[in-house]
Amino acid sequence: MELILASNSPRRKQLLTEYGFDFKVVGSNFSEQTLDLSPEQTVKVNALGKAKDVFESVGCSDAIVLGSDTVVELGGVILGKPKDSNHAEQMLKSLSNKTHSVWTGVAIITKTEKMVFAEQTKVIFNKLSNELIAEYVKTGKPLDKAGAYGIQDGFDLVKRFDGSFNNVVGLPIEKFASLLKNLLK
């Protein structure tokens, strides 16, 4: 069975590659939604929407399609990707010295199966100086990431986390790999 990643995320591509998966990328045209759902439900709805869109578009009955979505949640508010550099700075300032959750939803669709789950990782940020925030934002790295940061970007943002590091990167690869292994049995 062919594995198809329904995402253009360079981080998800990298994680799948690092874990030895052979896969193809087909970007989804599904528009992410937040509606008035919890962060957990939001990422599940978006992951499933992306996976369904690609599964239907490829018309491949022997494919396994992986859809995923990640959001940052701070005090009940969902932080998606920043609109611009100023928005990224505001997000980082709001996360400074606080605990937040990173939620990633994963959907796996085949001709006969549909699995959807969400993974949560609690992240505690260091107290960030205005200089560090400005330096980080200047790199452009925060602009395509939920919550305006990447735990893997090499900046001293995170004090500690409780849960999957890869979930914060954008895909709880360990849980995905386990489910895929069981699916292929």
- Choose the catalytic residue: 22, 53, 69, 153: 69
Q: Active site includes 84?
A: no
Q: How many CB atoms lie within 10 A of CB 72?
A: 24
Q: What region, left, alpha or beta, does residue 139 occupy, with left being phi > 0 and alpha being psi -120 to 50 degrees?
A: alpha
Which long-range contacts (C-beta less than 8 Å, at least 24 apart) are formed by 53-58? 53/6, 53/28, 53/29, 54/4, 54/6, 54/26, 54/27, 54/28, 55/4, 55/6, 55/109, 57/26, 57/29, 58/4, 58/26
Burial level of 31, CB count in 10 A (0-12/13-18/19+)? exposed
DSSP state of 86: H
Q: Which two tokens stand for residue 70?
A: 């990640």
Q: Which residues are designated catalytic? A: 69
